[in-house]
Structure 1
Amino acid sequence: MPETEFKQIYNDNYARILRLCMGYVSGDTDLAKDLTQEVFIKVWNNVKTFRKESNISTWIYRIAINTCLISLRNKKSKRFSDTLLTEDILQKEEATQIKEKQYQDMYRCINKLSATNKGIILMELEGLAQKEIAAVMGLKHEAVRTRIHRIKNQLTKCVNHE
């Protein structure tokens, strides 16, 4: 199809297709213009397949309706996935805030411990072996093991406000 012929088809149908698209997108002018442009790209790419069994404007309307429906379907599924994504982000954010509060409570309670017990539990939280903690603190391994058990009980009560 020559470009001049396409321009004539475009000029004859643009306003009607834009109005049709506006109806599908509830008056969103930018989206309607995008869809109208997409329609005419499809017309340009597929005009060779037009069988001339109906008026070309009827064929263009069919392309426009299908384009708008596909766009709405994609927009709905995107909105649904965006909603799920937003809910997922909010849940993760809430979980993070809860964890942060728990850590703050735990460290508040750790700060109430004696210097020795505080050192022991902080090394335990860092993953040091109890034998290493005993060597650093100058205590026997059994004493450190017993203290860690008592400190954990004390911290649990403190964090739970008992």
Structure 2
Amino acid sequence: MTFEEIHKVYWPKVYRQCMGYMNDHDAAKDITQETFIKVWQHLPKFRNESSIGTWVFRIAANSCLRQISKDKKMPKSEFPNEIVEEILVNNEPLVEFLYKCISELPEVERIIISLELEELKQKEIAKIVGLTESNVRVKIHRIKEKLTKKFQKHDR
């Protein structure tokens, strides 16, 4: 794949992944951009030991974790106003609530569920987060249970 193809295919997915970590529109855009700069710089060295997607998502995850570490704070639990307005205009308050719930999960769980929502295979998610595939499968199940409980409480 050329850089242009990688950028076209993965930019929206990486941006959503970064939103899952940062929960801040501007920070997610900045880190997405930083991710693709690193992809462009290191693409000639890519050894095909994993899929290109796994590699790109790992770069994005590392960039997000570094930024969170630099900020020395957990991401905010509220969405930026422009995203809230966009979701409400599109009449998708449940999507807003879902991302709010995801932003309240522990770091590793946010990563896992964000990648699951991007429809990555569990094998790839395991490589990205450094867990076994069976551990990822269990964590996804438990995360979905947590989110379901939050939705059930929300609907009351």
Q: Normalising by the residue count of structure 2, what TM-score does the alignment of the two structures yield?
A: 0.45
The higher-RCO structure (CA 8 Å, 6+ apart) is: 2
Given the two structures, how large is their TM-score scaled by the length of structure 1?
0.43
Higher Cα radius of gyration: 1
Higher share of residues assigned helix = 1
